[in-house]
Amino acid sequence: MPYIPLEDHLPGITGLLEYSKETAAPIRELTQVLLRGPSTLTEGERELIATVVSHRNQCKFCVTAHTAAADVLLGEHETSAKVKEDISTAPVSDKMKALLTIAAQVQQSGKAVTTESIQKAKDVGATDIEIHDTVLIAALFCLYNRYVDGLATVTPSQPEFYQGLGQRLKDHGYNRLPQGYDHLKKNNPVH
Amino acid sequence: MAYIDLPKELPGIRGPMAFRPETAKPLNELAEVLLRDDNNTLTRGERELIATYVSSLNDCFFCQNAHGGIAQHYLQCDMQFIDAIKKDYTAMPISDKLKSLLSIAASVQKGGKYVTAEQIENAKTEGATDKEIHDTVLIAAAFCMFNRYVDGLGTWAPQDREIYVQRGPRRAEEGYIDFDLYK
């Protein structure tokens, strides 16, 4: 049960973003720029960064949601599963391995990022903006994961919920839906 | 030296903000609504104190001094008071409600799951509203982002803490939107 009154039909982050629309607007915009804006990293690659950080923060809602989004974008389930298991042996490019390693360090602390991991990323072709965005995506998910779990939001257990959410994140990104979220009421129960 | 090519004259978060204006805009808007919006029953000083405390727990020198300087201005206190809050806020002459909120913020800093129902109940008993609890959790979570952004890119920070105290009133006056990164 959430620590503050949130709408029953909006589990996880969505209920929080609807509870406080004033803070939700910049959070949504930041996420849209980082995960869906113009970038030399694919949307799928950026979702993998979100997935790895959420996994390491043990935020079940976020990791399941972003795994689903990554899977829809990549068209397969293997990569997201493997990057959570072991970045070094996952089926991603050397550049992505280097960036995911930086993201994992950011998850621990900003100070945990090493000059060696940055140098490694540059050696395998990562640009400054890719490194910047990786650090900020990882930091942003340290916000999201704490927001979602710190207020004890509901984590649905049905896989279909996350498949639907992953599809929504592919189709609509992170902007608030123009019509709001009342149409999701008919999809209850989510528990 | 920063890990990427940031404007060398800009310390802390101002370097990456100048590097990437597209993300700086919503980052500053988030800080503005969380820390300065008048539609809030927590004072600006209380909110800056939460930001300062979380930044000190994350050991982010730039953020804890920048926001400590702003908190010091709002609260009209000295640096010793801010430092004592960071060291042991429970022993300080602040409200029991603020103490209960700082306790929640400290748990958020460790991880969302560290926040307990007892901490929330205690805050409500001390008179904290749902919005105050929400905002405390989100300020703490936001500074877990800002601190990682600042330190994760290896930015530099002035070491003289008085510089931050002198800048406090200006940031309090100008806010977090539409300020000149180079001043």
Contact call for A25 and B4, based on CB within 8 A:
no
Reference A2, options A61, A67, A63; nearest CA is A61
Cis peptide leading into residue A189 (ω within 30°) = yes
Q: What is the pLDDT of residue A188?
A: 55
Tens of pLDDT, residues B89-124: 999 999 999 999 999 999 999 999 999 999 999 999
Q: How far apart are CA B36 and CA B45, in angstroms?
A: 9
Number of domains, chain A? 1
Q: Looking at residues B41-62, what average pLDDT do you find?
A: 98
Q: What is the pLDDT of residue A187?
A: 62
Q: Does any domain span residue A52?
A: yes
Q: Looking at residues B127-134, what average pLDDT do you find?
A: 98
Identify all chain B residues contacting A113, using CB atoms and an 8 Å cutoff: 3, 151-154
Q: Does any domain span residue A4?
A: no
Contact call for A128 and B120, based on CB within 8 A:
no
B146-A22-B112-B129 Cα dihedral, nearest 10 degrees: 120
Residue A91 tokens read as 């089926």
Q: Does any domain span residue A63?
A: yes
8 Å CB contact between A87 and A101: yes
Contact call for A23 and B23, based on CB within 8 A:
no
- Is the CA virtual torsion B111, B114, B116, B122 positive or negative? negative
Interface of B with A in 155-174 (CB under 8 A): none
A87: domain range? Answer: 12-175
Q: Is B79 on the interface with A (CB under 8 A)?
A: no
Q: What is the pLDDT of residue A186?
A: 73
Classify residue B163 by burial, with Cβ atoms within 10 Å: 0-12, 13-18, 19+.
middle
Q: Which residue reads 């003289």 in tokens? A: B160
The residue extents of the domains of chain B are 27-174
Q: Is B107 on the interface with A (CB under 8 A)?
A: yes
B57-B70-A139-A105 Cα dihedral, nearest 10 degrees: -40
Q: How far apart are CA A119 and CA A130, in angstroms?
A: 13
8 Å CB contact between A147 and B137: yes
Cα B10 versus chain centre, distance? 19
- Rounded to 5°, angle at Cα A70 from A65 and A73: 125
Closest CA–CA distance from residue A168 to any residue of chain B (Å): 22
Contact call for B138 and A3, based on CB within 8 A:
no
The series of mean pLDDT values per 10 residues for chain A, 191 residues long, is 96 98 98 98 98 98 98 98 98 98 98 98 98 98 98 97 97 95 74 43
Closest CA–CA distance from residue A23 to any residue of chain B (Å): 6
Considering chain B, what is the average pLDDT of its residues? 97
Q: Does any domain span residue A85?
A: yes
Identify the architecture of domain B27-174 in CATH: Up-down Bundle (1.20)
Contact call for A140 and B145, based on CB within 8 A:
yes
Contact call for B16 and A23, based on CB within 8 A:
no
The domain that holds A132 is classified in CATH as 1.20.1290.10
Q: Is B50 on the interface with A (CB under 8 A)?
A: no
Q: Is B8 on the interface with A (CB under 8 A)?
A: no
Contact call for B34 and A23, based on CB within 8 A:
yes
Considering chain A, what is the average pLDDT of its residues? 96
Q: How far apart are CA B132 and CA B136, in angstroms?
A: 6
Burial B26-49 (b: 16+ CB within 10 A, else e): bbbbbbbbbbbeeebebebbbbbb
Q: Which residue reads 């200006």 in tokens? A: B170
Q: What is the pLDDT of residue A191?
A: 43
Q: What is the pLDDT of residue B129?
A: 98
Q: Which of B13, B64, B145, B149 to mutate to test the interface with A (most CBs of A within 10 A)?
A: B145
ipTM attached to this prediction: 0.98
Q: Does any domain span residue A1?
A: no
